[in-house]
Structure 1
Amino acid sequence: MTAAARRTPPLLPMLTVALIAVLLYLPLMLWANYGPAARALANGADLGCPTALACATQLRNPVLPSPGQLANGFRALSLPPTSELSVPYNAVVTGGETLLGLGLAIVVGLVLAVLLVLSRSFERATLPWLVASQTVPIVAIAPMLAVLLGQYGVQGFLPKALIAGFIAFFPVAVGMSRGLRSPDALQQDLLATYSASSAQTFRFLRFPASLPYLFTALKVAATAALVGSIVAEISTISFSGLGKMLAENSRASDTIALWVIMIYGAVLGVVLVALVGLAERLLTPWKAKA
């Protein structure tokens, strides 16, 4: 890493992109809403504004809400934050399902990765089926899994977490198996000269070498688990969660609320990836010094 790169604050590139997005948002919002506003005025609708350009910021269900509409939407859907009808409360529910699903995915993914590395026969027999499992539409499998688990009394929080884990385990398994195979032959031969067992090779060589691969996979898995939780909430009977709010407001055609919920979901995804990044810095300090 160069000295100039070290001096650059890590948030500066992200804030630069955010500033560009803010500057582009207003013209994009006016362009997206101008057509619907012009058509509504041409059909004789009373929008309370004289021109299509003026109405572009005041549509009841805009394509892109104006900054004022977004602010009002955030205020209406965020306060009080502990209310079961607020987005923060439901975001916490979805976040909990996602974290539990990610935890399940880590356990399953690590076990599969070790088996894939230890046995070529196991890899040849199971890897095609693992790939095939990820091609099943989650919208179809979520209600089926919920019904199956419901027969055994498993309801509420856990089915969504299981569905999230089902989506997230594959990148963990593939990334970890790639990391476990990353040590070169010379490193393995060195341990062999010290009569290291397979377990010692895994502990002192393969596992430490695989951690950067694992955390890269976990960042992908965290976002996949979040999507899985939201889709599971939409596809099954849910009483809370971002997916439940998205489904309700979609049926009500409340586009401003949909935008607010989607922004909360995006922020939740960023937080989850940031938590994985924090764990990576704590557990792989040698990588930060490289």
Structure 2
Amino acid sequence: MTAAPTSAPTRRPSNLVPMLVVAVLAVLIYWPIMLWANAGQAARSLASGAELGCGTALQCATQLRNPVIPAPGQFASGFASLSVPPFVNTAAPYNALVTGGETLLGLALACVLGLLLATLLVGSRSFERATLPWLVASQTVPIVALAPMLAVLLGQYGVQGFLPKAIIAAYIAFFPVAIGMAQGLRSPDPLQLYLMRTYRASRWQTFWTLQVPASLPYLFTSLKIAATAALVGSIVAEISTISFSGLGKMLAENSRASDTVALWVIMVYGAALGIVLVALIGLLERLVTRWRPAA
């Protein structure tokens, strides 16, 4: 009697091919969009009598000093000038590490606060009715206006430097963690909850053995959203407060200098930092939730 063939384990499809397809499409449309965006500015400069060293607006579109969208050569030159050497105060890699540290600390604070609020929201209906509207209202306050006030308030108590930016980042990021985790804690099927009661499980036993494991997918999804929110909060806090390092500080300085090529390079660094943060959370999710079947 022959043994029944065993099916091969299902492998998770790689995201590399779709990412490469999107990257190729972005490269293909980059050149015509760059020419279209810069040609108008070049035409106006030529019409005003400016000497650009080129004959037509289309030729000048790749040679503008402050283009709307930098040409590939300009972007490469700006990227090199802001990246080498990488660990000096004026280099983008160093400042990206500073912003990344602020974001991670803010995300950790947001996670602690969000988990606590989610537990209270699920555990007490009266607490939810009294608190949830105020939590929603807290997210409607413009962070650009709030960041300087928080920095001044925290400065009065000696909290300066790295920590205020992280607290501002946590202020933006805690809400998706709280709402997502609350939804996850409520996700177990009523039959599962009934089964726990038939086993005479206590409220905390039900919480830790059923509700918390069921909420982990919701938690990591919320953390990915919160990570991008915390990154934006860190950058806005660096712009809105006195900062000596960080991508926000670089954005503010180069914006005042009207260096559009540098602004584009810094924005790419910020986007890459966001991708790295979300990828790290995805890796942590795979390590923590190995019990879940592969998608």
Q: Given residue 90 of structure 1, which amino acid in structure 2 is its aligned partner?
A: N
In structure 2, do the counterparts of structure 1 residues 7 and 147 end up closer, same or farther at CA, with 3 Å as the change threshold?
A: closer
Contact 2:12 2:294 (8 Å CA) reproduced = no
Deviation at 1:184, TM superposition (A): 1.3
Paired with 1:269 and 1:209, the residues of 2 have a C-alpha distance of 27
Corresponding residue for 1:189?
Answer: 194
1:126-137 pair list within 5 angstroms: 126-137=131-142
TM-score using structure 1 length: 0.97
Number of residue pairs aligned between Structure 1 and Structure 2: 287
**Within the alignment, does 1:221 sit opposite 2:223 as a pair?**
no
Contiguous gaps of at least 5 residues in structure 2: 1-7
Q: Deviations over 1:182-204 (max 9, x none)?
A: 00110001011110001100111
8 Å CA contact retained: 1:281, 1:288: no
* Aligned partner of 1:72 among 73, 77, 83: 77
Pairing partner for 2:46 from 41, 45, 57: 41
Taking every aligned residue pair, what percent have the same amino acid on both sides? 76
For the pair 1:258 / 2:263, whether they are aligned, the reply is: yes
Matching residue's letter, 2:166: A
| 1:16 corresponding residue in structure 2 | 21
Tell me if the contact between 1:34 and 1:55 (Cα under 8 Å) persists in the aligned partners.
yes
1:284 alignment partner, one of 270, 289, 292: 289
Name the residue aligned to 1:158.
Answer: 163
Task: Report the AA paired with residue 150 of structure 1.
Answer: G
Unaligned runs of 5+ in 1: none
Q: 2-side partners of 1:7 and 1:215: how far apart?
A: 18
- The whole-number CA distance in structure 1 between the counterparts of 2:175 and 2:17 is 33
1:166-181 maps to which residues of 2 (within 5 A)?
A: 166-181=171-186
State the alpha-carbon separation in 1 of the partners of residues 54 and 207 from structure 2.
Answer: 70
**What's the offset of the Cα at 1:289?**
2.7
Question: Residues 108 and 7 from structure 1, CA distance in 2 versus in 1: closer, same or farther, beyond 3 angstroms?
Answer: closer
C-alpha deviations, 1:111-130, integer Å up to 9, x for none? 00000000000000000000
Deviation at 1:287, TM superposition (A): 2.5
Deviation at 1:288, TM superposition (A): 4.4
Letter in 2 for 1:148: L
Partner residue of 1:138 out of 136, 143, 149: 143
Note if contact 1:138-1:228 (Cα within 8 Å) is conserved in structure 2: yes
Q: Secondary structure at the match of 1:285?
A: coil
The answer to whether the 8 A contact 2:39-2:58 is kept is yes
- Aligned equivalents of 2:114, 2:95: Cα separation in 1: 28
The alignment's TM-score, normalised by the length of structure 2, stands at 0.96
The Cα RMSD (Å) is: 1.2
One-letter amino acid of the structure 1 residue matched with residue 64 of structure 2: L
